[in-house]
Each structure stands twice: as C-alpha cells, then as structure tokens.
Amino acid sequence: MILHTVNKSPFERNALVSCLGHAQAGSSVLMIEDGVYGAIAGSQVADVVNNSLATVKIYALEPDLAARGIAKEKLISGVQLIDYAGFVDLAADNTTVQAWL
C-alpha cells in the first residue's frame, strides 16, 4: 500500500483533505513539516482526519510537532507519533511513497 506524505498545513492548502479523499483503506498517511498541524484535535479538518482513521493509518512526525510547540495532549487520538527512523521504516514497509505537496 501507499505511504502518503503531507507537508503543508491543512489551513493553507487542500493537500491533506485531498490526500485523505484519495487514500485507500489500509494505506498510511504521514504528516510532516507544516502538515503536522493537521493532527490538532478540534480544528476545522479534525472531523475529516477522524473519519479517515477508521480505514487509514495516520502518523505525524514528532520532531515537527515539537518544533511548532504543539503538545501531544492537543492531538487527535489515534494519530501515531514517529521520528525520522520511524519515517524510514514506514517508507520501507509500504510499497510506494506518494507526496502531496
């Protein structure tokens, strides 16, 4: 399955929403860089993310959250945090990587 990466804020670009609209059941979505803002609970896009969690695995790059001062407690439950080593593993464990820029 695909590992989708989203690097822009969902409040600036439609990349996250578009990605989640295309991601197939069993695929993975990793939020990186400004994309990690998509993991914040209670935001305008949180419902879309929550609904996707039913079929898609969603991750956020922890160093990017820390850099941006977003505490773990603020995040949507179900979003898994990983580091760069985990990012490498995700890329290796899935069959293709698709960037939503």
Residues making contact with other proteins (CB under 8 A):
1-2, 5, 7-8, 14-15, 18, 21-24, 27, 32-34, 63, 83-85, 87-89, 91-92, 95-101
Tell the smallest beta-carbon distance from residue 13 to other proteins (Å). Answer: 9
Nearer to other proteins, 66 or 92 (CB): 92
Beta bridge partners of 29: 4, 58
Report the C-alpha gap between 94 and 34 in whole angstroms: 23
Nearer to other proteins, 46 or 91 (CB): 91
Cα radius of gyration rounded to whole Å, the chain: 12
Count the neighbouring beta carbons within 10 Å of the beta carbon of residue 27.
Answer: 20
